[in-house]
Copies of this chain bind each other. A is one copy, B any other.
Amino acid sequence: MYKQIDTYVNKCVSLTKEELEYFHSLLQYKKVKKKSFLLRAGEKCDFEAYIITGCVRVYYIDENGFEVNLLFAVEDWWVSDLASFSQQQSARLFIETLEDCELLFIDYKSKEALFKKVPKFERLFRLMIQKAYETMVDRLISNISKSAPRRYQEFIKKYPTIPQRVPQHLIAAYLGVSPEFLSKIRTRLSKA
């Protein structure tokens, strides 16, 4: 059950058996059915969740009622509304399972306790968020300076497994185009 997350953690920091066991003791295991919400905007987000199996999307509903997908997360990723989690304020994001999932949750208090007891985890989470930040920068650049067909091609190159697991209109809502246009892009590309 913890084998996968241990491998993940081990890539960044090296831990003793005791530290690892303490870490495990703070995690809560849950199975969650497809199409469930881990979080809705307005609630307080008191978790970061590590995905053992399954697929999840994190999205935002804009002022016109459109969904914007921020992230498709699969095995070995973390999901949360970090702004809500870390400042203990109400969430702006929705987190919804797209498949049946197995997850490990850690709550705010436990995370702080973990940092206090094993400061190496502070480093782990710093590196995690640093990577997320860089991904976000790439995506902003991509959105500002590349055409939709380009963005789609880069998406399937970067996340080749996602299109098989996630409906196309959700990918459109990730790329920031209408589902109709994504459909056009695909037929265009398949002809060329």
Task: Name A residues whose Cβ lies closer than 8 Å to a Cβ of B.
Answer: 60, 62-64, 66, 68, 70, 82-83, 86, 115, 119, 122-123, 125-126, 129-130, 132-134, 136-137, 139-141, 143-146, 176
Contacts and interface: CB of A to CB of B under 8 A. Distances in A.
A145 B82 contact: no
Chain B CB within 10 A, most for which of A83, A86, A122, A144: A144
13 contacts: A60-B141, A62-B146, A63-B146, A66-B145, A68-B145, A70-B137, A70-B140, A83-B134, A86-B130, A115-B123, A122-B126, A143-B143, A144-B176
Contacts of A115: 123
Contacts of A119: 119, 122
Given A125-B126, A144-B176, 8 more contacts: A62-B145, A68-B141, A70-B140, A122-B123, A133-B133, A143-B143, A143-B144, A143-B176
B62 A141 contact: yes
Contacts of A143: 140, 143-144, 176
A27 to B, nearest CB: 20
